[in-house]
Chain A
């Protein structure tokens, strides 16, 4: 199997104060900015490869850099050190409704978002019905009303339906493996399973042990910005739980 994601000595540095924004007044009158120049490495020396068809899960406590790593693989953050190379197309389930515009109808939004992720118009025409079917009858009934009138559940359902219909061989998921109500969540799980059966590569960030055990075979354990362990998911979870228990006591 060929390598589809390779992460090579990756590092990214952030400012410790959340806002790096500079104020022009300070620049003009004090000849310097008071913003903190104190930085820290959110991730450093990360090295791993993912082969085609693998299902990889990222575990670790809050703030250990899981989402940051996922964003760099998705190409929406750029590393300060090292490199990420992804050889195939990516379907990111990161901000599901990110591309949607409140003022346009649900129908227009499907075309726009799918188009943004690189789908051609003919492809969308072809899959439009299956997208809407997946999102449910409620969504179909209000296809021509402005998207902002959709309930939040309907919005994420439509978002999920669009992104999982993309024909990309790599799927990146940030905690949104399943959305909506109970019935819809089961549909999401089934959709994920069928995508995995197709031989897609899955890269999942999750705190849910249930989700991880259900879909993932290989685990990566991130601890304070470093890759602490890379191995079968059961072992990685065991180590993570042991660490968490240790920190808790």
Chain B
């Protein structure tokens, strides 16, 4: 089984992988004075803007779960990890071409390391979520519940999803140049078709099934499960899990098939 072999090869090089992740984070934080602030500023600002637009201008109280700002923060933090990874992994082999050309590490490492580095940034931004939750709990509006246990499952699912997508996109972007331009566009469309700003409940019946095919729907369902007084739907989670695993296989196979051509190209 190639997938298992490749995983073993990567875990065998975990020290190198860690070095790369630390390098990514260091480069990111040594370059800017504000460092950590940038990680949380974007989702915070966007949350306030969407909150302003939907709650004040449109006066829609039923777009997402209540408290809406908490709903937005959970969604946007996770979405930031998703977007960062898609752009990062698709360029992973090109941006480090010199390194890829001079070391014989299992090539998947260049994708995995982006997902891990962005994942650590995501985890580092979680205190923001904790502050918001605490604020609402103190006010008596929080609804923390046992669904919180689904959060780690959601994180694992998102991690696997991002690895799968990254393995698929990295070699394709290297070989077909235009894909790099297509990705930001796709990410924006996905943003509005994924229940980030709104809850999946408001999608009219036959169409909500289509949104289930997007694994991020299931991921967000799990991440939000513990914070709101709302039923958790198992549909998007199960469908999303199947799609995620399928994407991992497709990604790993594609990567293995195109590896040779990619190495000649960079």
Partner-B contacts on A (CB < 8 A): 12, 14-15, 20-25, 27, 71, 74-78, 80, 90, 92, 94-95, 98-99, 101, 103-104, 108, 111-112, 115-118, 120
Complex CA–CA separation, A78 to B23 (angstroms): 27
- Is B26 at the interface (CB under 8 A from chain A)? yes
Partner-A contacts on B (CB < 8 A): 13, 15-16, 19-20, 23, 26-27, 30-31, 98-105, 175-179, 182, 259-261, 263-265
B111: shortest Cβ distance to chain A, in Å? Answer: 16
Complex CA–CA separation, A111 to B20 (angstroms): 11
Complex CA–CA separation, A20 to B15 (angstroms): 34
**Contact B98–A95 (Cβ < 8 Å):** yes
The answer to whether A104 and B102 touch (CB under 8 A), given A20-B264, A24-B176, A118-B16, is: no
Complex CA–CA separation, A14 to B260 (angstroms): 11
**Contact B104–A74 (Cβ < 8 Å):** yes
Residues in B with CB closer than 8 Å to A24 are 176, 178-179, 182
Which of chain B's residues has its CB closest to A111's CB? B19
Residues in A with CB closer than 8 Å to B99 are 98-99, 116
**Contact A94–B27 (Cβ < 8 Å):** no
Residues in B with CB closer than 8 Å to A103 are 27, 30-31
> Which 3 A-B residue pairs are closest in the complex by CB-CB distance?
A75-B104, A98-B102, A115-B19
**Contact A77–B263 (Cβ < 8 Å):** yes
Would you list 11 pairs from A and B whose C-beta atoms are within 8 A, ordered by A residue?
A22-B175, A77-B263, A90-B104, A95-B98, A95-B101, A95-B102, A98-B101, A99-B103, A101-B23, A108-B26, A115-B16
A144: shortest Cβ distance to chain B, in Å? Answer: 12
**Contact B16–A20 (Cβ < 8 Å):** no
Which of chain B's residues has its CB closest to A77's CB? B263
Complex CA–CA separation, A111 to B104 (angstroms): 18
Complex CA–CA separation, A19 to B179 (angstroms): 16
B72: shortest Cβ distance to chain A, in Å? Answer: 33
**Contact B101–A76 (Cβ < 8 Å):** yes
Complex CA–CA separation, A103 to B29 (angstroms): 11
Residues in A with CB closer than 8 Å to B13 are 118
**Contact B264–A77 (Cβ < 8 Å):** yes
**Contact A76–B176 (Cβ < 8 Å):** no
Residues in B with CB closer than 8 Å to A14 are 264
Complex CA–CA separation, A108 to B16 (angstroms): 14
**Contact B102–A94 (Cβ < 8 Å):** yes
**Contact A25–B19 (Cβ < 8 Å):** no
Choose from B178, B182, B263 the contact partner of A76 (Cβ within 8 Å).
B263
Complex CA–CA separation, A98 to B261 (angstroms): 21
**Contact A115–B15 (Cβ < 8 Å):** yes
Since A20-B175, A98-B102, A116-B16 are in contact, a sample of 18 more A-B pairs with Cβ atoms closer than 8 Å, ordered by chain A residue number, is: A14-B264, A20-B264, A21-B265, A27-B176, A75-B104, A80-B260, A90-B104, A95-B101, A98-B98, A99-B99, A99-B102, A111-B19, A112-B19, A115-B16, A115-B19, A116-B105, A118-B13, A118-B15
Complex CA–CA separation, A111 to B179 (angstroms): 35
Complex CA–CA separation, A120 to B19 (angstroms): 10
**Contact B260–A78 (Cβ < 8 Å):** yes
A93: shortest Cβ distance to chain B, in Å? Answer: 10
Residues in A with CB closer than 8 Å to B182 are 24
Residues in B with CB closer than 8 Å to A75 are 104
Residues in A with CB closer than 8 Å to B31 are 103
Choose from B20, B30, B178 the contact partner of A23 (Cβ within 8 Å).
B178
